[in-house]
Chain A
């Protein structure tokens, strides 16, 4: 069964850092582009970042550029999102999503990040 399982969310103070992980199983992780997408509570979906299959290229939304870093460990089938200088507006459920080209074919269940003092 194809599965993505996120972890690492929690409560953090403004200006703090958090590292999210997404463990993949049931497919050849190294063959797929991977993404992070977030959803503010009760609101819509916002794409955050993408990393290509061989880790060679990364792309970010302007709202997180310079603060967030996407990476992957193909040997461990794991995707990461290092989030620094967190702001209240980063509060959201963060989903990892397997790319279907630039669409999102498989999603994890999400992990909640709350930025608050």
Chain B
């Protein structure tokens, strides 16, 4: 099974500042046939279901603000919120969608400093 590890567990960022979350997979999630990395990112606000932000490591889901961006390849990935807004307070999860069993990281809680 592919183990997905996120860091940090939590972070506090000032409004308008950059937030960076890291995600590492235990093996490469790069599919050579299409050169895509199978990492997704989700945002979960308190009391709500998760929401897909990014898939294939860097493709934003429709409607997701462009302050959210994903990067990385192979086993190391990053979610960046370029200018943190109050509504971005949430827990963020990465997930490998390379193949089953589909596995998530433990989550990163983002708060306002």
Interface residues of A (CB under 8 A from B): 35, 44-47, 50, 59, 61-62, 95, 100-110
**What's the nearest-Cβ distance from chain B to residue A35, in Å?**
8
Count of inter-chain pairs, beta carbons less than 8 A: 59
At the interface, is chain B mostly helix, strand, loop or mixed?
A: loop
Chain B positions within 8 Å of A109 at CB level: 49
Q: Interface of B with A (CB < 8 Å)?
A: 38, 40, 42, 49-52, 55, 61, 93, 95, 97-107
Secondary structure type dominating chain A contacts: strand
How far, in Å, is A112 (CB) from chain B's closest CB? 12
Q: Contact partner of A107 among B40, B50, B61, B100, CB < 8 A?
A: B50
| B52, A105: Cβ atoms closer than 8 Å | yes
CA distance A106 to B61 in the complex (A): 11
Bound-state CA distance A105–B102 (Å) is 14
**A–B complex contacts, Cβ < 8 Å, 24 sampled:** A44-B93, A44-B104, A44-B106, A45-B42, A45-B50, A45-B93, A45-B95, A47-B95, A47-B101, A47-B103, A59-B101, A95-B49, A102-B38, A102-B97, A102-B99, A103-B40, A103-B52, A103-B97, A104-B42, A104-B95, A105-B61, A106-B52, A107-B49, A110-B49
